[in-house]
Amino acid sequence: MFSGKTTELIARLSHAAGSGARVLALKPLRDNRYAHGELVTHAGLRFAAAPVASALDIPVSATGFQVVGIDEAHFFGPSLITPCIDLVNRGARVIIAGVERDHNGRPFEPFPTLLCEADEVLKLGGPCARCGAPAVHSQRMTGSDEAIVVGGADMYQPRCRACFGLP
């Protein structure tokens, strides 16, 4: 949360496209915060993206692409694992951005498995909204206990280990 995940994803996809690779960006259909057909950072940087309703749609959508970027991977849950492994096995470079811990601080599927399968892992963190220390958690600021609640700064805050769970 507010660590630059989507910014980094867009930078990597842009670099690959600039090098001549066939690039596809995907996002969950339910991520409707900024734009339907684009990845959008909190700062307003944009990159064309195809919304997909299910992780099962990804292999067909990604046919013929050399580089596939997937934003908000945690929205897909464990169903994202097999499509990602299949894409890699057929020669695609897969770049994934998402939150690895849920709002309770527990591992967020699909990341426990994808982190083990990845050839490269880059963990990004922003400053804690309370004290400025490096944040490793996303604290939900609403009362909902649903696994996924779409929201931005109005609903989540980056928090360090010491401040996580504090009001």
Domain CATH number, residue 75: 3.40.50.300
Q: Can you give the pLDDT at residue 109?
A: 92
Answer yes or no: 38 catalytic: no
Residue 10 has pLDDT above 80, yes or no: yes
Is residue 165 situated within a structural domain?
no
Roughly how many angstroms between the first and final C-alpha of the chain, as a whole number?
A: 17
Catalytic option among 8, 38, 72, 117: 72
Q: Can you give the pLDDT at residue 145?
A: 75
Does pTM top 0.95 for this prediction?
A: no
Residue 56 identity: L
Q: Measuring CA to CA, which residue among 106, 101, 167 is closest to residue 135?
A: 101
Q: Name the domain count of the chain.
A: 1
Is residue 161 situated within a structural domain?
no
Are residues 84 and 59 in contact, defined by beta-carbon separation less than 8 angstroms? no
User: From the CB of residue 29, how many other CB atoms can be counted at a distance below 10 Å?
Assistant: 14
Degrees, nearest 5: CA angle 111-116-118? 90
Is residue 134 situated within a structural domain?
no
Are residues 67 and 21 in contact, defined by beta-carbon separation less than 8 angstroms? yes
Is residue 74 situated within a structural domain?
yes
Degrees, nearest 5: CA angle 139-25-78? 55
Per-residue pLDDT reduced to its tens digit, 88-125: 999 999 999 999 998 889 999 999 999 999 999 999 99
Is residue 147 situated within a structural domain?
no
pLDDT band at 24 (very low <50, low <70, confident <90, very high): very high
- Residue 82 in tokens: 């097999």
Domain that holds residue 76: 5-124
Is residue 19 situated within a structural domain?
yes
Q: How far is CA 65 from CA 60, 69, 111, 118, in A?
A: 10, 10, 23, 19
Q: How far apart are CA 136 and CA 91, in angstroms?
A: 32
Is residue 82 situated within a structural domain?
yes
Is residue 69 situated within a structural domain?
yes
Give the largest Cα separation in the chain, rounded: 48
